[in-house]
C-alpha cells in the first residue's frame, strides 16, 4: 500500500503542482505559499510512485542552505528511501561534480581548485600588473564584473561579441583571454566557469550531454527567477531528453539582477519549453491579512510582473505600523522599546530588523549594547573569507594541488620568511618566461643560486615543508585535520598568532579551532576542499535568544513573527544608486526588495523612517520613501510625528556625550567581542 499521506496536507493548487509530474511545469509561488513544501512533496511523490530512482532526479537550488533544507525535508517524508539523492544541490556544486568527471574536456585535471571572488581579483591584479595596465584607469573590480557578465552570457573569450560603443571593452577582452588561460594553467576555475565549462562540454560532446540528459528523468529548480542566462542554458541541456522540468519561483521576489539574474527566464519559460503547464500558488500561510495587503498593494506598482493575488484565510491581525522619527537615534530607541514589549509574547529569535544597507545595523547595535538586548548580525564577512581561514585553505591547497599559484603566492611570506616583493617578482618573472608554476620556478632559481641568501633560507625551508606535507598526505595517509595542525605548527603560523597577543589574534585562533572542528565532518581532504570552495559559512545553530539584524537581501527565504523595516527614506530605500544605474528597472527591483522585506513578517510588521540621518560624515535631512505613499492607509497605523505641529516643534539636538562614548576603545573592544561571539 502506497503511503500518500504527504498529499493530504496540501491545498488544491499545491496538490495539483505535486501530482503533475510529467512535462514542463512552472510553479508561480507567492511569498509564503509553501513552495518548498511543494518541491519536496513532488520529489517524494516521484520516488513513491516509482517514477524514478532517487539518483535520476536532479534538484537544483541557489544556496547551500536551501539544498540542505530540501534534503532534510525530503528525508523526513521518505526516510530511508531518500538515500541516494546524489543530484540534489546548488547549481555550482552539481556543476563541479559533473566537471570533475570530464575536466580534461576543457583542459583541466579533475583535482582543479575553485577560486572565489577574492582570488579572482588577485589574479586580475596580477595580470594587470604584468600587462602594465593602470589599475586606476581600469579597476580590477570592473574587469571582474565584466568577465563575470560574459561568463554568465555563456561566452569564452573567443565568443565575446564586443559592443562598438565602448572602446575599453577591447582591453577587457585582452585581459579576459589572459585570465582564462591563466586559470587553466593554475588548474583552477572560478564560480562562473563551473557552469560555463559544463555547458561548453555539453555543446561540444553530444555523447556526454546525452548521458546526463537521459539520466535525469526529472528536474526541479528552486528560485527560478534568479537564474541567469548560462544557468538556463545548462538546464536546457540537461532537460533535453525527458523534458520533465519543473521550476518554482516568484517574479516579485527577483532581487538579484545585479548578480546576472534574468527574470526573462522566468517570464518566458513557457516559450522555452513547449506545452508548459503553469500553476499558481496564491494562498499565503505566513502573514496576517494586514501584512499581506500592504505587501500586495505595494508590489502592484510594478509594471513588469506576471501578476498574482495573494490571499489568506488567516486573521487580519495587527495593523502594520508606520512610524516617522526625528532622527535615526530616535528610531533605534523606539524600536528597541518596542522589542522589549514584544519580548513578552515572542522570542527574540523570532524578531528581525531588516535593512537596505548593512551600515544601518550600527545604530541598532549601539542601542542594543547600551540597554543590553542580545543580537546577532547575519551576513557581513563570511567565515571562509576571513584572512586566517583563507591562509589555512591556501596551505592545504598547495599541498593538495601543486599548480595552485594563487594559494602559493598567498602564503609564501605568511608567516614572514624574508621573502619580499623583489624575490617574489623574480619568481613570477622566471615562471612566466619558462611557463612553469611558481613553485617550480622557485626551485629552479634556488638550484641556479639566484635567490638572495637570506630569502633562500626561508624559501628552501618552505619548499621542503611542502614536500614533507605532501608525503604526510599521500604516503603516510595522515588525515586532513591532523595535516592542517601539522602544517600550522611546522610553518610557524601557530607561533605567529600566539606571539601577537591582542584580541584580534585571539579571535583568529578561535576561528582556526572552529575550522579544525568543522573539518572533522568530512571524510578526506578532497571532499573538505570541495566544500570550502562552494560554501560560505559554517552553519551554526542560533545559539541563545537574540534578535536578528540583516539586510533585506539576506532575509529572503526566512520568516519572523515580528519584523522591523527601518530607514525607508528616499535615497536609501529605494537606493539612489539603484535608480541612477538602472532607472525604472532599478526602482522596480527596489520595490520587490520592499515586498520581500514585508512578507517576511508573520504577525507584526513595523515600517519606519527618520527625518535626520548622519550619513557619510554629514547630517542630512531625509524625506519619506516614495514606497511609503504606496502603502494602503486602511492597513496602517501611524505614529504622532505624522502630525504637522510635531514636525515644526522639532529641534535638532546632537547627543555629543553619546558620540564620545562610541569612540572609546573599551566600547570598540566590547563591540568586537560581541561581534565575534555571535
Residues that bind DNA in the complex, under the rule CB under 7 A: 62-65, 90, 92-93, 117, 135, 191, 223, 226, 256, 258-261, 356-359, 379, 382, 416, 418, 420-422, 534-536, 550-551, 553-554, 556, 575, 577-578, 581, 586, 614, 616-617, 662-663
Active site residue 333: no
**Min. distance of Cβ 51 from DNA in angstroms?**
28
Q: What is the DSSP letter of 106?
A: G
Active site residue 417: no
Nearer to DNA, 33 or 64 (CB): 64
Task: Provide φ and ψ at 501, rounded to 5°.
Answer: -95, 95
| Catalytic site residue from 223, 402, 409, 589 | 223
Q: How far apart are CA 173 and CA 190, in angstroms?
A: 17
Neighbouring C-beta atoms of residue 342, cutoff 10 Å? 20
| Catalytic site residue from 222, 251, 331, 472 | 222
Active site residue 253: yes
**Min. distance of Cβ 19 from DNA in angstroms?**
28
As beta bridge partners, residue 624 has: 569
Nearer to DNA, 65 or 177 (CB): 65
Residue whose C-alpha is closest to residue 557's, from 256, 336, 348: 256
Nearer to DNA, 75 or 418 (CB): 418
**Min. distance of Cβ 379 from DNA in angstroms?**
4
| Catalytic site residue from 14, 61, 180, 253 | 253
Residue pointed to by grid coordinates 593554475:
186
Cβ contacts of 618 within 8 Å, gap of 6 or more: none
| Catalytic site residue from 280, 376, 456, 600 | 600
Active site residue 14: no
| Catalytic site residue from 35, 37, 305, 367 | 35
Nearer to DNA, 241 or 615 (CB): 615
Nearer to DNA, 316 or 422 (CB): 422
**Min. distance of Cβ 675 from DNA in angstroms?**
12
**Min. distance of Cβ 206 from DNA in angstroms?**
27
**Min. distance of Cβ 583 from DNA in angstroms?**
12
Neighbouring C-beta atoms of residue 309, cutoff 10 Å? 9
| Segments in 419-558 forming alpha helices (H) | 421-434, 438-447, 453-474, 480-491, 493-499, 503-519, 525-534, 552-555
Inter-residue contact 586 to 554 (CB < 8 Å): no
Helix (H) or strand (E) holding 560: strand 560-565
Active site residue 600: yes
Residue whose C-alpha is closest to residue 64's, from 514, 531, 381, 549: 531
**Min. distance of Cβ 326 from DNA in angstroms?**
19
Active site residue 340: no
Nearer to DNA, 62 or 176 (CB): 62
Q: N- to C-terminal Cα distance for the chain?
A: 49
Inter-residue contact 347 to 513 (CB < 8 Å): no
Helix (H) or strand (E) holding 201: helix 191-204
Residue pointed to by grid coordinates 497605523:
637
| Catalytic site residue from 16, 36, 51, 200 | 36
**Min. distance of Cβ 24 from DNA in angstroms?**
22
Cα–Cα distances in angstroms (integers) from residue 71 to residues 75, 83, 448, 507, 556, in the given order:
6, 10, 56, 33, 19
- Supply 126's cell numbers: 596580477
107-126 as b/e: b if 16+ CB within 10 A? ebeebbbbbbeebbbebbbb
Nearer to DNA, 62 or 342 (CB): 62
Nearer to DNA, 261 or 445 (CB): 261
Active site residues: 35-36, 222-223, 253, 600
Amino acid at each position: 500500500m502506497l503511503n500518500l499521506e504527504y498529499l493530504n496536507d496540501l491545498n488544491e493548487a499545491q496538490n495539483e503542482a505535486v501530482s503533475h509530474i510529467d512535462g514542463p511545469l512552472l510553479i508561480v509561488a507567492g511569498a509564503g505559499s509553501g513552495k518548498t513544501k511543494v518541491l519536496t512533496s513532488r520529489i517524494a511523490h516521484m520516488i513513491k510512485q516509482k517514477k524514478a530512482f532517487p539518483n535520476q532526479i536532479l534538484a537544483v537550488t541557489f544556496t547551500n542552505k536551501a539544498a540542505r533544507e530540501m534534503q532534510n525535508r525530503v528525508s523526513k517524508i521518505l526516510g530511508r528511501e531518500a538515500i541516494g539523492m546524489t543530484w540534489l544541490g546548488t547549481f555550482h556544486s552539481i556543476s563541479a561534480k559533473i566537471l570533475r568527471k570530464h575536466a580534461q574536456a576543457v583542459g583541466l585535471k579533475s583535482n582543479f581548485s575553485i577560486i572565489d571572488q577574492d582570488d579572482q581579483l588577485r589574479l586580475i591584479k596580477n595580470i594587470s600588473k604584468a600587462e602594465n595596465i593602470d589599475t586606476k584607469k581600469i579597476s580590477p573590480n570592473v574587469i571582474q564584473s565584466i568577465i563575470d557578465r560574459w561568463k554568465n552570457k555563456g561566452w569564452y573569450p573567443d565568443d565575446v561579441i564586443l559592443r562598438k560603443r565602448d572602446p575599453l571593452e577591447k582591453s577587457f577582452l585582452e585581459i579576459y583571454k589572459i585570465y582564462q588561460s591563466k586559470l587553466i594553467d593554475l588548474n583552477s576555475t572560478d564560480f562562473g566557469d563551473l557552469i560555463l565549462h559544463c555547458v561548453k562540454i555539453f555543446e561540444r560532446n553530444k555523447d556526454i550531454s546525452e548521458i546526463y540528459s537521459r539520466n535525469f528523468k526529472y528536474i526541479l529548480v528552486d528560485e527560478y527567477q534568479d537564474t541567469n542566462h548560462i544557468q538556463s542554458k545548462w538546464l536546457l541541456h540537461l532537460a533535453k531528453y525527458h523534458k520533465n522540468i519543473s521550476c518554482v519561483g516568484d517574479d516579485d521576489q527577483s532581487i538579484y539582477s545585479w548578480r546576472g539574474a534574468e527574470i526573462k527566464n522566468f517570464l518566458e519559460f513557457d516559450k522555452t519549453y513547449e506545452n508548459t503547464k503553469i500553476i499558481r500558488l496564491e494562498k499565503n500561510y505566513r502573514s496576517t491579512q494586514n501584512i499581506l495587503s500592504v505587501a500586495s498593494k505595494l508590489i502592484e506598482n510594478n509594471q513588469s510582473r506576471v501578476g498574482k493575488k495573494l490571499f489568506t484565510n488567516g486573521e487580519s491581525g495587527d495593523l502594520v505600523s508606520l512610524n516617522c522619527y526625528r532622527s535615526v537615534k530616535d528610531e533605534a530607541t523606539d524600536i528597541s522599546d518596542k522589542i522589549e514589549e514584544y519580548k513578552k509574547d515572542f522570542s527574540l529569535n523570532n524578531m528581525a530588523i531588516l535593512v537596505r544597507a548593512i551600515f544601518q545595523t550600527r545604530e541598532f547595535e549601539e542601542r542594543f549594547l547600551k540597554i543590553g538586548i542580545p543580537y546577532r548580525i547575519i551576513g557581513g564577512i563570511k567565515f571562509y573569507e576571513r584572512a586566517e581561514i583563507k591562509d589555512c585553505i591556501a596551505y592545504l591547497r598547495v599541498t593538495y594541488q601543486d599548480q595552485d599559484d594563487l594559494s602559493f603566492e598567498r602564503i609564501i611570506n605568511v608567516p614572514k620568511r624574508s621573502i619580499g616583493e623583489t624575490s617574489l617578482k623574480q619568481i613570477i618573472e622566471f615562471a612566466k618566461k619558462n611557463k612553469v608554476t611558481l613553485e617550480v620556478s622557485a626551485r629552479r632559481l634556488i638550484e641556479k643560486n639566484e635567490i638572495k641568501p637570506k630569502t633562500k633560507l626561508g624559501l628552501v625551508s618552505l619548499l621542503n615543508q611542502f614536500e614533507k606535507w605532501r608525503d604526510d598526505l599521500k604516503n603516510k595517509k595522515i588525515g586532513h585535520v591532523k595535516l592542517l595542525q601539522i602544517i600550522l605548527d611546522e610553518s610557524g603560523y601557530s607561533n605567529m598568532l600566539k606571539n601577537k597577543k591582542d584580541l584580534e589574534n585571539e579571535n583568529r585562533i578561535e576561528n582556526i579551532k572552529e575550522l579544525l572542528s568543522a573539518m572533522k565532518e568530512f571524510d578526506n581532504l578532497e571532499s573538505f576542499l570541495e566544500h570550502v570552495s562552494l560554501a560560505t559559512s559554517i552553519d551554526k545553530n542560533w545559539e541563545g535568544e537574540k534578535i536578528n539584524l540583516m539586510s533585506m537581501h539576506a532575509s529572503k527565504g526566512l520568516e519572523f513573527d515580528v519584523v522591523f523595516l527601518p530607514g525607508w527614506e528616499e535615497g536609501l530605500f529605494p537606493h539612489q544608486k539603484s535608480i541612477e544605474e538602472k532607472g525604472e528597472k532599478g526602482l522596480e527591483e527596489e520595490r520587490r526588495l520592499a515586498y520581500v522585506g514585508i512578507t517576511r513578517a508573520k504577525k507584526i510588521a513595523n515600517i519606519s523612517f527618520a527625518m535626520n540621518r548622519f550619513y557619510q560624515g554629514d547630517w542630512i535631512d531625509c524625506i519619506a520613501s516614495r514606497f511609503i505613499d504606496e502603502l494602503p492607509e486602511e492597513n496602517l497605523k501611524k505614529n504622532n510625528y505624522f502630525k504637522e505641529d510635531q514636525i515644526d516643534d522639532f529641534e535638532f539636538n546632537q547627543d555629543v556625550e553619546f558620540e564620545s562614548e562610541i569612540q572609546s576603545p573599551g566600547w570598540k573592544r566590547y563591540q568586537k567581542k560581541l561581534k565575534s561571539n555571535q
